[in-house]
Amino acid sequence: MTMKFHFIAAALTVALAASPASAANCGDSAKGFDAFKRDFAREAKAAGIGKRGMAALASAQYSAETIKYDRRVNRALKSGNTNFAKFYAKKTKGLKGPAQSRLKQHGKLLRQIEERYGVQKEVLVTIWGMETGFGGYTGNADVLDSVASLTYDCRRSGFFKPHLMATLQILDQGWISRQRLRGARHGEIGQTQFMASSYVNYGIDFDGGGRDLIGSPADALASTANYLRAHGWQAGQSYQPGTHNFSVLHEWNASTAYQRSIAEFASSL
């Protein structure tokens, strides 16, 4: 990490801890979005975001589609009931053969990642398959528009604010162009669906072509392993329910059904 990255990381910490009086206002319609961007621009500049990042923020558009999607997902989560058998069947349908093929096709790469980070190749391939069908569909929403809209929206401003700042850092550093920075509606990026702050903090350039979690399976898988190791993954240990590594899967996804699905499917490989 360069000295500039150290500076930005430190500045982000200070900026995100700013008092409510200095924070950009939230809203529930497009009406105040431009004012929000002007307020947030001051915070971004103070955090060390440069010209490219600031220009990207100025170009961000309010996404009513993202807010509508967020409301729909929130209602579904509040309904509560998750039948694990149905969830597992849906998330892993058709994955077994392709997962086994990926284990063979990327065998050397997966062994290298496992040796370096200690995360079993079956776990990585399972996450890869469950998240995006092995990179088959990583999302087509404009990540900056989505995350800016969710930060402006009053429901979860505090959660999305660090991800907006990190998105600006990704663009400012030129890791991915604005045109390529497309993902899921909540701002998830790449073949294993990293949020922007995780992209900044745990993203790895594993193949020497730049930190590209969208186009590079090597970077996406190594970054996933790096994330899990950073959150306490113990090399070579069980990841089944009740174990330490299973609890680490909670850091990847808070859904118990999702965690169980990773553990069960990976063990079947």
Integer Cα distance of 125 and 128 in angstroms: 5
Report which of residues 158 and 81 the model is more confident about: 158
What is the residue extent of each domain of the chain? 3-14+24-69+139-188, 94-137+201-268
CB atoms within 10 A of CB 66: 22
Q: Which residue, 34, 83, 80, 39, is CA-closest to 59?
A: 34
Nearest by Cα to 228 from 124, 132, 102: 124
267's tokens: 């063990």
Q: Which residue has the higher pLDDT, 171 or 22?
A: 171
Q: Which residue type, as a one-letter code, is found at position 21?
A: A
pTM for this entry: 0.88
pLDDT confidence bin for 77, thresholds 50/70/90 = low
| Residue 81 confidence (pLDDT) | 63
Question: What class does CATH assign to 94-137+201-268?
Answer: mainly alpha
pLDDT for position 21? 33
Report pLDDT digits (tens) over 89-135.
Answer: 999 999 999 999 999 999 999 999 999 999 999 999 999 999 999 99
Give me the mean pLDDT over the 131-148 stretch: 97
CATH number of the 3-14+24-69+139-188 domain: 1.10.8
